[in-house]
Amino acid sequence: MLKTKIAIVTGATSGIGEATAKELAQNGTKVVLVGRNFEKGEKIAKEIDGFFIKCDVSNENDVKNMINETIGKLGKIDILFNNAGVMLPSMEIERMPVEDWEKSININLTGCFLVSKYAKPYIVKEKGTIINNASIAGLQHYAAGRSYAYSASKAAVIQFSHQMAKNYGEEGVRVNCICPGIIETPILGDRDPKIYAQRVPLGRVGTPEDVAKVVKFLVSDDAKYLTGCVIPIDGGVSL
């Protein structure tokens, strides 16, 4: 009998996280949706028969409680998708408020660390898998625009993923990192995604589902020999 897998998806109240939660649930995975927006989280959880847990990933106590609640309710964790993130307005560094820098690092990087830290013992028990959501903005060869804090936080997520993959392989845990390109979600704010389409070799911006399907593959047994991968999902825009 196939045992139900338990997945935690952070940032599941919108965009890529929401699409991934739905994709995994469709595949029979029980999903714990994590985010700060209670109404949206509860609504999506209801739709997919999952659980929503309100949690700010940059707050250690929230994260500890979220993992404890997951274990209390579902007993185990097989899959962690560290996806929660923010992209604050880009600007020259002399104009950038320290608060913006700290918020980007605290949510995008420290959040990924905190959730991994508290989930890891349970993921090891199940020989499970972690996917971290970075961005093409964090790739070494791709220094576009002025998203200093965002790009630095995402580059760090890539290296954090490499190290976890190398060190936890012998514990049976696979860790991979995805780097989406320009994906049409609320994180783009008032930027018109259509303007970017002409720069994309595949001729369009991505959808949250384009990313969700890659995550579904990476957490599946079809990807059982993949660890430490950094996978652009960008229609070729980072080339």
Interface residue with ligand NAP among 9, 24, 53, 58 (CB under 6 A) is 58
Question: What is the SS3 string spanning 95-148?
Answer: CCCHHHHHHHHHHHHHHHHHHHHHHHHHHHHHCCEEEEECCHHHCCCCCCCCCH
User: Which region among 24-32, 53-61, 67-75, 213-221 touches ligand NAP (by CB under 6 A)?
Assistant: 53-61
Question: Tokens 């079809």, residue?
Answer: 222
Interface residue with ligand NAP among 56, 78, 100, 210 (CB under 6 A) is 56
d(CA 186, CA 208): 11
Active site residues: 150
The distance of closest approach from Cβ of residue 225 to ligand NAP in the complex, given in angstroms and rounded to an integer, is 25
Using DSSP, state whether 58 is helix, strand or coil: coil
Distance of CA 71 to the CA centre of its chain: 20
Interface residue with ligand NAP among 29, 116, 133, 147 (CB under 6 A) is 133
**What DSSP string describes 12-30?**
TTSHHHHHHHHHHHHTT-E
The distance of closest approach from Cβ of residue 205 to ligand NAP in the complex, given in angstroms and rounded to an integer, is 8
d(CA 177, CA 224): 15
The distance of closest approach from Cβ of residue 119 to ligand NAP in the complex, given in angstroms and rounded to an integer, is 14
Residues 139-178 that bind ligand NAP (CB under 6 A): none
Asked if 11 touches ligand NAP (CB under 6 A), the answer is: yes
Residues 14-43 that bind ligand NAP (CB under 6 A): 14-17, 35-37
CB nearer to ligand NAP: pick between 42 and 126: 42
Asked if 83 touches ligand NAP (CB under 6 A), the answer is: yes
d(CA 239, CA 230): 14
Distance (Å) of CA 6 to CA 23, 63, 219? 13, 17, 11
Binding mask 85-124 for ligand NAP (x = CB under 6 A): xxx-------------------x---x-------------
Distance (Å) of CA 95 to CA 92, 143, 148, 154? 6, 19, 12, 21
Interface residue with ligand NAP among 187, 197, 226, 229 (CB under 6 A) is 187
Geometric angle at alpha carbon 154, from 192 and 68, rounded to 5°: 110
The distance of closest approach from Cβ of residue 218 to ligand NAP in the complex, given in angstroms and rounded to an integer, is 15
Residues near ligand NAP (CB under 6 A) are 10-17, 35-37, 56-58, 83-87, 107, 111, 133, 135, 180, 182-183, 185-188
